[in-house]
Structure formats: C-alpha cells, structure tokens
Structure 1
C-alpha cells in the first residue's frame, strides 16, 4: 500500500482537480490524505451561512463531505488564510498563505508527510494552473516540503492539458457552440491555463468514476464557480473533466504513462 498526500490551496480545488485520481487510488486500496493550505475564506458566501457562522467553518464541513466521496482517510489544514486573487489587499495580510514564510509553511506540510511516511506528494505546476497566488505558493511549498521530509516523496504536479482544452473548444465551436473560453488567453498571472501536453508526463483516465468526481464537486455547492460546473450536461462535464493530468519534474519531456491511478 502506498500513501499519497494531495496538497490543495482551498476546499473544492481537490474536487475539480484531483478527485478522480483520489477515488481511483483509494479504490485500489491505497491511503489518500488531503491537505488544504487555507480555509477558502474569500469564497462566495452561501445564503444560509448565518451571521454567527464563519465561512471557513462552512467550507470545512464541505471538505469533510468531499473526503467521504473521494475516500480520503485524513483531512488536514495548514491553517493559513485565503490570499484572494492576484493584486488583492489580502495577498499581504499577515496570516495569508501567499505571504507565509516558505520554510515555515513547508515545515508544517513536511510534518504531515513524516507522520504519514508519504510515498507521493501531489501539488501544482509552476504557475498553479492559472496563476492564483495561493496555487503558485502550493507549488513552492510542496517542493520545499518534499526536500525537508525525512523520506523524500515522489512529487507530481497537477495541471491542465492546454492542447486537450484547445481541441475540445475547437470541437465545440465546430458544432456551433460557444463555450466563451479561450485556452490560450492570459489567466490571473498573464500566462495561459495549465501546460502544453509536451510538458505533461502522466494522464489518469477518471471517466469510469466521473459521477463520483461530480459528487465530490457537489459537496462544495456553496461556491458559485462550482455551481457553474455542475450545470454542465453530464456528457460535457465528462469530456471536460474525464482525464486528470500531472507533470513530474525530472522526467524527460513528453507523456510518459497513462496511470490507472496515482501510484
């Protein structure tokens, strides 16, 4: 049995990015742990939150519900505040993840890696997929934590396949559909989303568990962007989210394997 730690910036990031891989990995009998850097305090506020209930508490409950769907055996929080999008004043707050000392944050994550004797650590690509400050920080903290762990885990970087997205958008346009999205448009940091396929090493086909991945996403229904994804027809959702992609630093350029699960 292997132990894989999935390190995410905010609650719901696991559901859209790696939930299928988590489900397949736990189904195969391996231990799955999910760690969140922040509580997602700057997400959208649900109408039933109430004046005396912090959003962080609400989203924590949603994350625990998602863990039941993905088979995560343990849910942990590094305890930092959501930094907001690029340029927000929250980026500079004293408790923000974006502004956290790299070694301190890595130490918190490394302690979990050591407790778990983790074999694999999953973070994000070099620009966090789309440039969100907390996602970029996940990339740096994951690599520093791996270096500090008593037994260095293998590091995989969750990303999006820009070439695949471009092909899917072209197919939609050919059918007269307008998704309203450009795979090559600049995102939060000025870079296009994800990575080109030439920089990606692994693909995990999660189409067989796509309904359960969608169920994990539904656990985070308080968030407007999540609700938008759930409004996709099931067949379109499966096309868009049926394969999860990972880069692995140190491997030669080009797709290496199509993994049945993270192992």
Structure 2
C-alpha cells in the first residue's frame, strides 16, 4: 500500500542535498513524497556569475528564483512542494535568517524569530492536509548548526506535539550520517584524480575537505543510525535534481558536488536516518530498516 512521506526542510536545496536518495527511492516504490520548505533561501550565495545580481537584491529576487529551482528539482524527483505559510500574494510567510549573527537574523520576518506556536500551527495544517505516515526533518542541532535548520527541527517537533493521537504519523526520523560513511567519503575524495572534482576552466577548481576537519553534528556513531536508504538508481535522480538548484550547487560529476564554498563533497547513493518517537523525539529502541517505511 503506498505511503505518504513528509520531509520538512529550511531552504530550497536542503531537501535534495540531504534526502534526495530517500525521496527518489520512495517515489520509485510508488509512495507519495511531499516536501515542506520553511523559507525560500533569500540569503543564499549565488554561484553562477550570470545570476550574481540576484544575491542580496533589495527586492529579494533570489527567493522567487530559488522557489522555481525547488519546483523543478522536485518535479524531477516526483515529489510535491509545500511552502510554510504560503498564501495568495505571497510565496512564503517567513524569510531566510542567514547565518547566526548576520543582519538577516535580526529582521522580524526571519524564520529564526518566528513565533513557535504560529509556525508550528502552520506545520500542523500541512500535516493534517497531507496526512503523512512518516515525517522527516533535522536533528536538534539542525545538521550543521544553521539557525533555520535548528528552528525547523523545533517547529516540526512543536507541530507534532499539537496533534491528537489519531493524527500522529506512524514514524518520525531525523537526518543523520554514520561516522564510518563520513570517513569513507572523505578518504575517497582524497584518493581520486583531481579531474574527478575539477570544474571546467576558467571556473575555479573545487578543493578537498581538510582531513582533520571535524564532522558536523549530524555525523553520529554508526549505532545511532537506525535506517539506511541505499539505492544506486536514485543517485541519478538526485544528481538531476541537484542540477536544478543551479544558484546553490555545482554538480562537478556524477560522483562529486559542491556548494558556494567550492569544497568537494562526494555524491553517494546512500543516506542515513534515526527513527524517533514522533511525540517525544526519543530514539526508538531496536528500530532498523532499509527504507523509511515506518
């Protein structure tokens, strides 16, 4: 029987970067996949020179552009898009907060400043409309500590707490990566011929991550990762969707991508998740699986 999955993310491209394999995998299984983005990523750093004028534009032109990119990326995956608080005359209720301490974070409409009950209520409305069997979002640290990612986690949890018992999804997951995978991917990048992650001239080449750099908080002990979605065919779909996010992502090859920092990242066919209780967010003992079936 087809299931419904709802992935809750902070900005356009987050969904494909972290969950592209899982989404494509479940679409291929015949499941119904929905993505809820909480902002339009107005503070993103634009990579292509011919679109540079979008970055920091006083009319926030980057937001609608990234909305269009997200719409196309999800079309390629086969998923459905929701934007938090979208209504007639507005694409989004909240704005990208930027990094901690940035001027954007002080703006009243920044997502990080959202009233928790209001934002959670908007998520509740989406959950009641979609009626997902599974909800997926970030860990409490927001993956790598971005304020909007942390807020997305807080708002999603608050929304689940507002639901009646009969309305709760059967399962909830946070996005995590086994430490062994992170180490393997970093070693793989260092073993490749530089051509594997070079960009065509005259664009600057990508650079390797430093071997001693710490991993983000979402990289956890292998034993804390309950579900592993591995699907070689889904990687082609993920790469195709990443190419739709052209302002934010460089797809250097089928094996390597990068963001505006030009640090090479391995594009694998695997993603990790930890199953949690949708009410308490406590890890579910003994949970394991090869998809997010719940």
Q: Sort the TM-score into its range (normalised by shorter chain).
A: 0.7 to 0.9
Alpha-carbon distance in structure 2 between the residues aligned to 1:123 and 1:222: 23
2:73 to 54, 66, 71: 66
Cα-Cα RMSD: 2.6
Alpha-carbon distance in structure 2 between the residues aligned to 1:18 and 1:9: 13
Alpha-carbon distance in structure 1 between the residues aligned to 2:3 and 2:274: 19
Task: Classify 1:71/1:172 alpha carbon distance in 2 versus 1 (closer, same or farther; 3 Å).
Answer: closer
Alpha-carbon distance in structure 2 between the residues aligned to 1:193 and 1:118: 24
2:5–2:133 contact (8 Å) kept in structure 1: yes
Which has the higher mean CA deviation after the structures are superposed, 147-156 or 6-15? Answer: 147-156
Aligned counterpart, 1:17 = 18
Alpha-carbon distance in structure 1 between the residues aligned to 2:284 and 2:213: 24
Which has the higher mean CA deviation after the structures are superposed, 69-78 or 248-257? Answer: 248-257
CA deviation after TM superposition for structure 1 residue 149, in Å: 2.6
1:40–1:82 contact (8 Å) kept in structure 2: yes
Deviations 1:182-222, CA, capped at 9 Å, x for gaps: 475265xxxx4532222211110032221110011111001
CA deviation after TM superposition for structure 1 residue 2, in Å: 1.6
Alpha-carbon distance in structure 1 between the residues aligned to 2:161 and 2:71: 29
Aligned length: 253
Aligned counterpart, 1:234 = 254
Alpha-carbon distance in structure 2 between the residues aligned to 1:28 and 1:186: 32
Higher radius of gyration, 1 or 2:
2
Is residue 129 of structure 2 the alignment partner of residue 115 of structure 1?
yes
Structure 2, unmatched stretches of 5+, are 86-92, 195-206, 258-264, 277-281
CA deviation after TM superposition for structure 1 residue 26, in Å: 1.7
Structure 1, unmatched stretches of 5+, are none
Kindly report which structure 2 residues correspond to 1:1-263, keeping only aligned pairs within 5 A, or say none. Answer: 1-45=2-46, 47-48=50-51, 54-78=61-85, 79-150=93-164, 151-153=167-169, 154-173=171-190, 179-182=208-211, 185=214, 192-223=217-248, 226-227=249-250, 230-231=251-252, 233-236=253-256, 240-249=267-276, 250-251=282-283, 256-259=288-291, 262-263=293-294
Task: Classify 1:162/1:99 alpha carbon distance in 2 versus 1 (closer, same or farther; 3 Å).
Answer: farther
Which has the higher mean CA deviation after the structures are superposed, 62-71 or 165-174? Answer: 165-174
Alpha-carbon distance in structure 1 between the residues aligned to 2:212 and 2:182: 6
SS of 2:36's partner is strand
TM-score, normalised by the number of residues in structure 2: 0.77
1:162–1:197 contact (8 Å) kept in structure 2: yes
